[in-house]
Structure 1
Amino acid sequence: MTSEDFMVNEEFIQDPHAVVARLREGGPVHRVRLQRGLPCWIVTGYDDVRALLADPRLAKDNGRMQELATAKMGEDASRMFGEALTQHMLNSDPPDHTRLRKLVNKAFTGRTVARLRPRIEEITTGLLDALDGREQPDLVRGFARPLPITVICELLGIATERQADFCRWSDTLLSTAETEDVIAAAEQMHAYLVELIARKRAEPAEDLLSDLVHATDEGDRLTEFELVSMTFLLLVAGYETTVNLIANGVLALLRAPDQLALVRSDPALLPDAIEEFLRYDGPISLASLRFTKGPVEVGGVTIPEGEFMLLSLLGANRDAERFEDPARLDVTRPAGGHVAFGHGIHYCVGAPLARLEAEIAIGRLLERFPGLRLAAEPETLRWRESNLVHGLESLPVALS
C-alpha cells in the first residue's frame, strides 16, 4: 500500500487490523492524513510503538499542537484542540504532567478501586436481570455501556439522571462528527462540569471529584481549568475504555467457540483472558496524538521536528514479531506485554478499574447465560466512527 494518498478513513475504522497489516507490509512508518486533512505519520510495529509511547522526544503540549496544526492545514486549527476540556495530564508533558498525575493519584488509588467490587457486582447483577427474558438484546446498549457509565459517575459523584447526557457527549467528542457538533458537545459538557465542581467545592461529599477538588500536594491544587479537564478525562476514559473492552471481549469469545468453552470450563482463566482481549482487539485504536520535538528515527526513516505522530495500539498488539500467531485469540497465552493501555508516563490511570469491571461483567454474563451466542453475522457488525476508540455500535446476542 502506498501511503501518500492513504487517509485514516471509513475502511480504517471498520477493519483496522487489515489496513494496518497492509501498511506494515510497506514498512514500519507511513505518511497519512486524518479525515479533516491533518498530515501525520503512523507507526504500526510493536517495538517502535512501545518505545515511542515512552519517548520524551514526542510531546503532547496542547498549545503547541494548535500552532502546528494551523501551520500545516493553512487555517486556524484551534477549534480542533480547544482549551475547555483539554488541560489534563493526557495532553501535557513534564513537569506539568508530573504535577497533575501526582495530584490525581492521591485521589484515584488502588484502594478506591478495590472497594468498588461489591458495587460493580451489584450493578452487573441488575443489568443481567434486566436482560433476562429478552429475545435478542443489544449487549452494548443493555450491558457494556450502562455498567461503566454507572460506575464512573458514582465514583465521581455525578447524578444518575445525567448519565445519558454524558454518553451522548462522549460519543460525539470521540467521533468523526462535524466540527460544529463536536464543539457543541464540548460546550455542553464543560458547562455542566463547571457547575458540578462548584457544588463539590461548596458541599464536598465522599466521591472522587470532591477528593480532586480538595486534593493538594505541598500546597499545590488543580486550577479550575485543570479540574474541569481532569474530570472530563477521568469520565470519558473511565467509561469508553471499559465499554469497548467488555463488548470487544465478548465478541471475540463468541467468534472463537473453543476459547469460549475453555473460559466456561475454567473461570480461573478469566483474568488472563481479559489481557488477551486487550491484546487481540483492544478498546483504543490509535494512541492520542503526539508531535516530534526534534528529529526522530523510526525504522530507518527520519521524521523531522514538528510532525504529528499516530501510534497504532491495535497494530502493535498484532505484530507477529512480538506475538505468535497474533490474529488468533488464545486465552491461555502468557498474559501481559500488550500496549492496550499505553506505556510510559501516560499509561492509563484507570486500567485497574477497567480490568476489574471487565472481569466481573464477562464472568457473570457467561455464568448467567450458558447459551449466549451472536444474533447477527459478524460481517454485519459496525464499528463506531472514531479514530481513537475501537468499539462496536451494537452487539446483538441471543441469550439461550
Structure 2
Amino acid sequence: MTTYLTQRDSELLGTSNRTDALGHLSIWSEIGRELIPHLTAQTTDVRAFQVLIEILRLWERLVSERPEHAGRLRDVFVLMEQAIARTVALRGLDWPLPGARRVRAGATRQVSRIGLDPDHALLGSQFGNGIYGLYVASARRAGMVTPDHDRLEIETLEVASSTPGLSEKAAGQLIALVRQVLENGGPVDLPTHGSTALVGDVVAMYEDVPLGDHLRQKLVGATHITAALAARTLATEGLPRRGLLSGLQQDISEHADQIQRVIDTEDTLAIIEATFVRLCAGAGEPLGTVASSLPVDLGLLREAHDRFVAVGPLRGGAARLRHGRISTMLDMSTAEAFARSILHLHHLAMDDRRRADWVTEENGILRGFVEIGDVDDDAFNVGQAWWNDYYLYAYTSISRQLADLSS
C-alpha cells in the first residue's frame, strides 16, 4: 500500500483510529518527532495558528486592562474563538477548523451570538478540543507560546503586535463583547454588517493570515531538515511519502541517517499493520488459512526487522516498551507463526489500555469483534508499503498553505 501526501490523516490507521490497536502510534510519533519537531497530525491549517496567536495577544491586552479576569483564559479564548468562527461563517467563508459542523449550522440559521453555556460552544469541550487544545502545544514547541501555554513568547508577541490581525478599533470591539459576557453572564450578539471594523478585520485576518512570514519562519524553517522538506514538498506535489523522504536524503545527506530511521521504522510497522487488518478481515476463517494467504516475503521482512531493531531503544516509555516487544516477539519463522505473534502483540497493546481485543484465535479459528475491510496485496510489499504518517501530512499541508500566501 502506497500512501500519498494528498491523503488526509483519517485514511491512515495509525492516526485515524484512536484505539491504536497495535500501539504503533507511540513508536512512529517519537520517530516522526525527530523529523518534524513541532507539528501533530491535527495541526494542518495555518489559519488556526493565526487565530491562536491573535487571541492570546488580545488576552494579554484584556488582562492588562482588567486584571480581575487574569484567571479566565479558558473563558476568554472560547468566546473569542466563537466570535471569529461565527463572523467568518456569516460572511460566507468556509470554516474547516475545529467546530466546523456547529459553525456551519449556525451560519445557516444566522446565529451570531457568543456565550459560555454549552449551547453556544463550537463543539464539546471547546477549549480542549478546539483550536487551543489542538494547536497550542505545537505553537509552544515552535517557540511561539510560553511553556505554561498562556502567553506569547516575546518575539511572537512583538511580531503579532506590529502585524495585528485585528486593528485597535476592532480589537476594542471584540474585547468589549467578551467583557460583557464575563461580567454579565449572558450571551451577546455579534455585529454582522460588513462595514463594522470587527467584521471586516476578522475576515481579512482569516483570508490574508498577516502572520504568514512569522509562521513560515517558526514552522517551515524550524530546522535544517524541515526547511529542506518544505522545499522538496513544494517541488514534488503528490509524491508518496517514501519517495519524498528518499529524495530528502539526497538533498541533505548530513541528515540521511536521521531520515533513514523513519524509513527503517516504517518498513516493519507497515507490514505488521497490513497483516493485522487481514487477520481482522479473515474473522471466521482458520488462522492457518488466512496466514497462508499473506503475500509477505518473510526473508525480506527479517532483514527489515533487523533494521527496525537497530532504531531502538526509544526514549518514551510506551514507545520503548512496544518497540522492544516487536523487536523480541515478532516471529518470522513461518507465516502462521508470524500471524500468531501479531495477534499476541495486539493483545498486549489492548491489555495495556484495558480494552477488548479486536480479533482473537479460538481453537485455530479467527474470531473478530470489529468490522474492517481487507487491504490489497501491495500493502505487504516490504520496502515499498507505507502505512503511518510521521506528521508528514500536517507538515506538507502547512508548508503549501504558507507558500500560497506568499505567491
Please give the range of the TM-score, normalised by the shorter of the 2 chains: under 0.3
Q: Which has the larger radius of gyration?
A: 2
Greater fraction of residues in strand: 1
TM-score of the superposition, structure 2-length normalised? 0.20
TM-score of the superposition, structure 1-length normalised? 0.21
**Larger relative contact order (Cα-Cα within 8 Å, sequence gap ≥ 6):** 2
